[in-house]
Amino acid sequence: MVDSRRVVSYEDMLKVIHQPEKVIIDVRNVEEINATGKIPSSINIPLGEVQNTLESMSEEDFKKQFQRRKPSTSDELIFYCQSGRRSSEALDKALKLGYSNSKTYLGSWNDWSKRQR
């Protein structure tokens, strides 16, 4: 069970997509994103790569790959996936790495895509 203070809602997401200092991370596989689309301003780091990317990727490589600076441990990271399960796993990994302001959008893509119609 995820701590409710670490959960963002659809309404929260509508605000954060316009706040470039927040880092929205889609942890689905590229094929899933290509098939469905993504939340505006999000970057894709598949779940299996989250720990290594946040822990070991250099600032320079991160900027090259994602066209934004690598987040610091004090930045707000918001994870989402298809239904909330993988985003909760990603949240757990980020918190263990010291990204203390990390959150999850439990509704994830299923909720976002349903409400965007």
Domain CATH number, residue 56? 3.40.250.10
Does 81 qualify as catalytic in the annotation?
A: yes
pLDDT digits (tens, 9 = 90+) for 53-104: 999 999 999 999 999 999 999 999 999 999 999 999 999 999 999 999 999 9
The first and second tokens of residue 14, run together, are 């509508």
Say if residues 73 and 99 touch (Cβ distance below 8 Å): yes
The count of domains in the chain is 1
Q: Is the pLDDT of residue 37 over 90?
A: yes
Predicted TM-score of the model (pTM): 0.96
Q: What is the pLDDT of residue 2?
A: 83
Instruction: Give Cα separations from 24 to 42, 90, 92, 94 (angstroms).
Output: 5, 12, 15, 13
Q: Which of 27, 45, 77, 81 is catalytic?
A: 81
Q: What is the pLDDT of residue 83?
A: 95
Average pLDDT value for the chain: 96
Domain enclosing residue 98, as ranges: 4-115
- Phi, psi (rounded to 5 degrees) for 21: -75, -15
Looking at residue 42, the DSSP 8-state letter turns out to be -
Among left, alpha and beta (phi > 0; psi -120 to 50; other), residue 80 is: beta
